[in-house]
Structure 1
Amino acid sequence: MHFDAPVLLYGAGREARSTRDFIRTHSPGTKVYVTVDSGDVGIEDVEIIAPSDLQDAIAARRFGTIVKSPGVSRYRPIFAIAREAGIAVTSNLNLWGEEYRSKVKVVAISGTKGKSTTATLTWLMLTNSGVDAGLGGNVGVAPLDVADKYKTVVFELSSYQTADMAFTPDIAAITNLSPEHTDWHRDVEHYYADKLNLIDRDKDFPVALGVGAKDNKLVLEALRNPARLVPALDRESDQAIVDAVSISRLKGAHNLDNARLAAQIALAAGGTLEGVLKGIAEFKPLPHRLEEHIVGGMLFVNDSISTTPEATKAALAAFPSMRIALIAGGHERNQDYTELATLLAPRGVTVLVCLPVTGDRLATATYAAAPQIEVLEAENLETAMQALSHRRNRFDAVILSPGAPSYNQFKNFEERGNTFIALAEKLFGEKVA
């Protein structure tokens, strides 16, 4: 691939660095600009264009292509201005599609929750079946870094990536669908449409649907033809998967659902039942996803990846028969916490600590739905953990499952989760495991 004009990278994260390396290798004479909204660029051999100068740069045709990072909303007016000026707006994923799609079998997995676990399981199942498979996308390796190193690639894709995905996969899957990222997508309708762009295509490739997607009206409309669905698991295979999950590190009913979906995908992509079961056995919980730590003899569960009420419900269901202190709340995305509040007491929550800003609504709903729960409102995670350190006789486990993004107080969910564990070690004693 050769670029005939300079390229602008909008964003400077992992995918932007990957794109810069790709251009350096495949089109070494191409000049590269970078625009970032905040922070350091940290990319070598580029020229910076400030956001305030971008419209003038477009008018002057200083570049012919914009490669947008996933976290930068495609709905920003500047991209419409660029397109009107004849400047292409693309992504690391779509550049991968142009360069490598014809050489590789693509399994693409998305959904509101569970996509990272499902994609990782699918990859493990395929590799244990003898399939030459790689894993990339939102799970940590930029598509262009995956390149064509494998005959099959499993992509875990966020709604940011599926929104303008220009190529079709060989097999696709949707785990579930519920409101999220409405600030990036403008509203929930655009979020649904952008997520379902993965399967809402004219080409008739097979699709697997998780429990939270198979009865969703919008998903079924995007599917168009039920004949596209991959075969269901037979009874014998399903029982073998249930048995394998029961002795694995996959915790909670939602992860059994993820394993079943991954098995359907893997079998449709050339995997074997033996490989599926070996993949389940090899699975290790992903960081910040129901990640368990014992500190001072108490269980701390880092579920910082939880950014929706549905994810928090799943986290609580994974720890039955325990008295739970739940820490929840975060960046506002106008999510409804009413149902979650009604489930807290039945799921064993004895203490609820609410963080700004969504925690205010969860607290109000919990006061009404479960007055027996002690509700605390903390200004940040440190004060939340300090409050719990004085109430440790009231619970058996502390679960950080915010049900909201982290951006109002943290750089990302990883920083939030790491801070949680650091505070646990500081306030509750030496970490045991």
Structure 2
Amino acid sequence: MQLNGPVLLYGAGREARSTRAYLSRQAPAAQVFVTVDSGAADIDDATQIAPDEADRLVARGALALIVKSPGVPLYKPFFAAAREAGIPVTSNLNLWGERYRAGRQVIAITGTKGKSTTATLTQLMLHHSGVDTGLAGNVGLAPLEIADKHPTIVFELSSYQTADIAFSPDLAGLTNLYPEHVDWHGSVERYYADKLNLFTRGPVELALGEQDGLLARIAADLGPVRALRPLAPAVDEVIVDTVAGSRLRGAHNLGNARLAARLAIAAGATLDGIVAGVGAFAPLPHRLEEHRIGGLVFVNDSIATTPEATKAALAAYRGYRIALIGGGHERQQDYAELATLLAPHGVTTLVCLPVTGARLAEATRSAAPHIEVIAAADLEEGMLTLGTLKNRFDAVILSPGAPSYNQFKNFEERGTRFVALASQIFG
């Protein structure tokens, strides 16, 4: 990277701070601006400017580089205008690729759900096999923070990052693919295309998670990919037994472990290392995170922002009488099928939160009239109501099937609040 002028950071989160630290090392004399669409931009040694000032800098061609944070939509007219003005637009991940990709084994994992668990398992399996491996992306470190610390890197990548990735991994895993983040991408079709951009940059060995018809059709159209070999039956049997005795709950997590094992074996893992990696896995926060309070089980699955993720959570708790908390930010989720699955999975009580909870409530009243449906204004009201109905359930599962942005800053804040309310009301 050769800088001959000012740099604009668009976004001010973890990756932007990592990028600023990288620029301080690589181009200490560069003038750095930062802009955000809302809130404050607290980046050391960077001058905060408003978006309209950033527009003026682009119009004058007064920037040498723009580094976009993942949460900022790639399809904003601002970035098209920058490219038309000859200003490169890049990312923390692509700066890593430019500076550190050569000579490293790169494993990239994406998908709608399960990618964090799969990436973490892959890194643990390799680590316990004696392979010097780091974890970066949405989990672990930001790409430029991991830099050149390990010869093998496992990246967990969101669709925001795969949309404009400029290099190819050696090995890649796709956990599953469902409609998600349509507001960022603009359409379901573009969301799929942006996910699959990870596999179109060059030759890559690919392993698919859920082998459904959609993924099979997609895989046939990906271009320069080669399928990783399936697990040998004896190896698969060991993984099934190991997962059964581990802290990985549900059939979907067995699928994640199988996918991780295929990637890890291709990268140099041993069977002993795979077993040890599964044993070392601790459930990630807000992903089927289990708490026992007041004789009940409380499951913080706030990461579940699609109906498909909620289905997986319910399947992991078969045999329980369940109070499910669902609903959140509107992304045009379809709850019709989920509503038909609630009763067969043991849901006796359903708390519906704004705004998508209204559609889930309507679908549930039609599909399963005997389920008690509670329309709550917010999470606290819903939990207080559940506190008066303790005899109806053994487990309370927060698996909303929708994002949190209408009432919380992010899913982490929503999950933390759920656990705190469980302690206050049921403890």
Alpha-carbon distance, 1:59 to partner:
1.2
Q: What residue in structure 2 maps to residue 170 of structure 1?
A: 170
Question: How does 1:261-280 map onto structure 2 within 5 Å?
Answer: 261-280=259-278
Question: How does 1:34-433 map onto structure 2 within 5 Å?
Answer: 34-201=34-201, 203-212=202-211, 216-224=215-223, 228-429=226-427
**Amino-acid identity (%):** 64
Alpha-carbon contact 2:208-2:215 (below 8 Å) kept? no
Alpha-carbon contact 1:338-1:362 (below 8 Å) kept? yes
Classify 1:105/1:140 alpha carbon distance in 2 versus 1 (closer, same or farther; 3 Å): same
Classify 1:222/1:71 alpha carbon distance in 2 versus 1 (closer, same or farther; 3 Å): farther
Q: Which amino acid aligns with 1:406?
A: S
Alpha-carbon distance, 1:83 to partner:
0.6
Alpha-carbon contact 1:2-1:26 (below 8 Å) kept? no
Alpha-carbon distance, 1:56 to partner:
1.1
Alpha-carbon distance, 1:53 to partner:
2.2
How many Å separate the matches in 1 of 2:213 and 2:21?
40
Alpha-carbon contact 1:9-1:34 (below 8 Å) kept? yes
SS of 1:366's equivalent in the other structure is: helix
Question: How does 1:6-25 map onto structure 2 within 5 Å?
Answer: 6-25=6-25
How many Å separate the matches in 1 of 2:97 and 2:224?
25
How many Å separate the matches in 2 of 1:344 and 1:264?
33
Alpha-carbon distance, 1:48 to partner:
1.3
Structure 1 residue runs without a partner (length 5+): none
Alpha-carbon distance, 1:224 to partner:
3.4
**After the TM superposition, which of the residue ranges 88-97 and 55-64 deviates more from structure 2?**
55-64
Deviations 1:310-331 (A, max 9, x none): 0000000001110000000011
Structure 2 residue runs without a partner (length 5+): none
Alpha-carbon contact 2:350-2:372 (below 8 Å) kept? yes
Q: Which amino acid aligns with 1:414?
A: E
Alpha-carbon distance, 1:64 to partner:
1.4
Which 4+ stretches in 1 moved above 6 angstroms? none
Alpha-carbon contact 1:159-1:194 (below 8 Å) kept? yes
Alpha-carbon contact 2:200-2:224 (below 8 Å) kept? no
Q: Which amino acid aligns with 2:373?
A: V
Q: Which amino acid aligns with 1:79?
A: F
SS of 2:425's equivalent in the other structure is: helix
Q: Which amino acid aligns with 1:350?
A: T
**TM-score scaled by length of structure 2:** 0.98
How many Å separate the matches in 2 of 1:329 and 1:263?
34
**TM-score scaled by length of structure 1:** 0.97
Alignment root-mean-square deviation, CA: 1.2
How many Å separate the matches in 1 of 2:6 and 2:103?
27
Q: Which amino acid aligns with 2:234?
A: E
Alpha-carbon contact 2:61-2:86 (below 8 Å) kept? no
How many Å separate the matches in 1 of 2:162 and 2:297?
37
How many Å separate the matches in 1 of 2:217 and 2:185?
17
SS of 2:34's equivalent in the other structure is: strand
**Alignment coverage as a number of residue pairs:** 427
How many Å separate the matches in 2 of 1:336 and 1:27?
48
Alpha-carbon contact 1:249-1:284 (below 8 Å) kept? yes
Classify 1:218/1:165 alpha carbon distance in 2 versus 1 (closer, same or farther; 3 Å): farther
Alpha-carbon distance, 1:52 to partner:
2.3
Deviations 1:154-195 (A, max 9, x none): 000000000000000011110000000000000101000000
Alpha-carbon contact 1:175-1:212 (below 8 Å) kept? no
